[in-house]
Amino acid sequence: MAEDDGRRQPGQAGGRLARLRARGRSGREPEVQDAGAGPGETGPTAMLDIRDLRIHFPTDDGLVKAVDGVSFALERGRTLGVVGESGSGKSVTSLGILGLYNTGNSRMSGQIYLDGEDLVAADQARVRELRGNKMAMIFQDPLSSMHPYYTVGDQIAEAYLIHNKVGKKAARAHAVDLLKRVGIPQAATRVDDYPHQFSGGMRQRAMIAMALSCDPELLIADEPTTALDVTVQAQILDLISDLQQEYGSAVIIITHDLGVVAELADDILVMYAGRMAEYGSSEDIFNRPGHPYTWGLLGSMPRLDEVRQERLLSIRGTPPSLINVPAGCPFNPRCDYAARNNGRSENEVPVLRPVGPGHLVACHLSTDEQRRIWAERARVAS
Amino acid sequence: MTGLRGGSPEASVAAQPGQAAPAPTSGGDALLTVTGLTKHFPVTRGIIFRHRVGLVRSVDDVSFSVAPGETLGIVGESGCGKTTTARMIVRLIEPTAGQIMFDGNDITHLRQGAMRPLRREIQMIFQDPYSSLNPRHTVGTIVGAPFELQKVKTEQGTKRSVQELLELVGLNPEHYNRYPHEFSGGQRQRIGIARTLALRPKLIVADEPVSALDVSIQAQVINLLEDLQGELGLTYVIIAHDLSVIRHVCDRVAVMYLGNLVELASRDDLYARPRHPYTVALLSAVPSPDPVNRAADGRRERRERIRLTGDVPSPLNPPSACRFHTRCWKAQDICKTEPPPLVERAPGHLAACHFPENS
């Protein structure tokens, strides 16, 4: 359905028109609507409820479907881990939630309910009020996401000043408090330092302080520890989980490191080529994964807690281009089990369906087959 | 063979009177032996009157050896000197002190011209597949460059050899005329590996060969490196910060902290019975991809983990004696005054600690 859009789109200016078109489109989502019958169905009680989110970018080469039908719900105090290879749409999803793609040359459709309020339909000014206030983000690379000309304190205080009626003094005191909270020694003096005077781990702590400055109820961390050493990573992961317990916020953690996800997440969303491949509790994903892509990710990873394998079970090939997503199941060219489905994998987009309570898999393999193959793989590995 | 690496100058002189003492080896004739390797970078101030204001002790008195066909892993946090060590081995950086023996020859201070024939035998794989390939050159030119630079004529001609190399690393030989931007990260790393293999080197030094890649692609490249080692009988020195990758590919592992070698052991021994507290802490910091640590009420039960506080100190002004004492939970007064020697705690297992674990 969006293919024809892709052909018409090149050269078309984005802006209001694109937004109108995107909104118009969300009304007619025929086939993949049932993909939304996933976690989104937990009802509007969930604090964050995303239904059939699509974020597409028209380019000269075609339509890039960076996020294509993602639905999930997240409660306060819970952590969702989003995993997938680069280009699977993890970061675009998160920036989309913050409303950073609902403008210009991008098209966003679906619904993002934050406490019942749809952010996709809301106007920019309203999303802006919420961004940095009710929802905040921790970026991957603290050095490039902090402004080198402003002191760390100024940058932490900025959002607090904008969203609250307070003076500069109060905001500064707040910044010092936050730096203390995230474990920066001598916070009262370090608040006047510039980002380059901080080490990598401290910068990431300062980033977290910045995100926390307005007590956000939704905290999105995009690869928060990728740039850090393991010992510092452990500190930051502990900090995020401590702060979550203290503030009771909902956390979305985006990462390609399955170890980090296992450590923090209650639920896990596995994304592939902008779509949901699998969704479930972290026990489901690690102990009874149903999607061949999840198997591949788990097999690719050398593990310290298991006997050393002679060979890693890598996934062959490379992730597809988001302009030419393979027909049928997007994973089928790399899948070892695609041949078992009598051509369905090549022709039919698999629907996200439940294989257990709260555990959804988008795969043509039957639930029994999935269980059998996973058991076999686990047996071979041990 | 104990006490090879005394931290203090006197100790190391005592251990190596005049000539190079044999470095700890896994036995047999080593292909590469590094003894007392040191690199200090001066920090200068001033434009006209440059004067030295400090010394970054990047690598301090590091000794190890690598047997032919073996894979040695070097791990440590950023700033521990692992990359500097790698670059000194391939002679991209001039060592301040110490000796590098390759295949029985001292190559520590060889001049450019004398080094050139040896460049065929020692090659390097770089970390970032995006910046290590010239964007204006085709894959054919990139992979064929070693032949041209070394003036090597192959029987079938350079083009054919390059295509064979591309095939060897799992790329399509027809991509000979493509440019690096047409390839994904994993494919670019394969191009880098093909270039490395062009002259059939004996030793490959790989600096974080997979850290820039996705997990699934990482596994492909790791498998490729292992296959090539089996096929071509290569010897690897692999630098990485990822302990699980190192465990997968290496036979022996060296752990570095702030320029010092703190532990050196066989893979199984190191991971099963780490002696140095820093190694213990590093291993326990690796997040485990196993979600069992959850209490009945759904709250997370934290894994027993040794938490190192703070960051790695600056190598400009490293802590006295044992450099790890500022973050070590076992540190006592002796750790601040006396540098622990790198001694053999078990057969083939060296650790530099006054109060080693698992002993």
Using CB atoms, pick whichever of B247, B283, B290 lies closest to residue A302.
Answer: B247
Using CB atoms, pick whichever of B186, B282, B289 lies closest to residue A318.
Answer: B186
| Alpha-helical regions (H) of chain B | 9-15, 82-89, 112-119, 139-149, 158-168, 185-197, 215-232, 243-249, 267-272, 277-285, 333-337
- Establish how many alpha carbons lie within 13 A of residue B143's alpha carbon, considering only the half-sphere containing its beta carbon: 33
Nearest residue to A238 (alpha-carbon basis) of B296, B285, B244: B285
The pLDDT of residue A245 is: 87
Fold (CATH) for A3-86+102-271: Rossmann fold (3.40.50)
Is there a contact between A266 and B241 if contact means CB atoms under 8 Å apart?
no
pLDDT tens digits for range A305-355 = 888 888 888 888 888 888 888 999 999 999 999 988 888 899 999 999 999
Does the pLDDT of residue A266 top 80, yes or no? Answer: yes
Q: What is the ipTM of this complex?
A: 0.80
Q: Which phi and psi (to 5°) does residue A379 adopt?
A: -70, -45
Q: Given the DSSP bridges, would you call strands B235-240 and A218-222 parallel, antiparallel or unpaired?
A: unpaired
Q: What is the mean pLDDT of chain A?
A: 84
pLDDT tens digits for range B237-276 = 999 988 999 999 999 999 999 999 999 999 999 999 999 9
Does the pLDDT of residue A199 top 80, yes or no? Answer: yes
- Smallest CA–CA distance, residue A263 to chain B, in Å, is 6
The pLDDT of residue A368 is: 93
Q: Which residue has the tokens 């690096």?
A: B180
pLDDT tens digits for range B63-81 = 999 999 999 999 998 888 9
Is there a contact between A286 and B286 if contact means CB atoms under 8 Å apart?
no
What residue of B is the nearest CA neighbor of A200? B311
Using CB atoms, pick whichever of B185, B219, B290 lies closest to residue A312.
Answer: B219
* Residue A137: band (very low, low, confident or very high) from pLDDT cuts 50, 70, 90: very high
Does the pLDDT of residue A27 top 70, yes or no? Answer: no
Give the number of other CB atoms < 10 A from CB of residue A320: 19
What residue of A is the nearest CA neighbor of B240? A229
Does the pLDDT of residue A191 top 80, yes or no? Answer: yes
Tokens of A279: 């969704």
Is there a contact between B222 and A316 if contact means CB atoms under 8 Å apart?
no
Is B178 at the interface with chain A, CB within 8 A? Answer: no
What residue of B is the nearest CA neighbor of A334? B216
User: Percentage of residues in chain B with pLDDT exceeding 90?
Assistant: 55
What residue of A is the nearest CA neighbor of B268? A308
Angstrom distance (rounded) from CA B211 to CA B245: 9
Tokens of B270: 């190191």
Q: Which B positions 232-251 lie with beta carbon below 8 A of chain A?
A: 241, 243-245, 247-248
Does the pLDDT of residue B6 top 50, yes or no? Answer: no
- Smallest CA–CA distance, residue A75 to chain B, in Å, is 14
The pLDDT of residue B294 is: 53
Domain boundaries, chain A: 3-86+102-271, 275-381
Q: Are B240 and B207 in contact (CB under 8 A)?
A: no
Does the pLDDT of residue B194 top 90, yes or no? Answer: yes
- Cβ neighbours of B210 in A, within 8 Å: none
The pLDDT of residue A339 is: 87
- Smallest CA–CA distance, residue B92 to chain A, in Å, is 25
Does the pLDDT of residue B18 top 80, yes or no? Answer: no
* Residue B140: band (very low, low, confident or very high) from pLDDT cuts 50, 70, 90: very high
Is there a contact between B287 and A257 if contact means CB atoms under 8 Å apart?
yes
The pLDDT of residue B125 is: 93
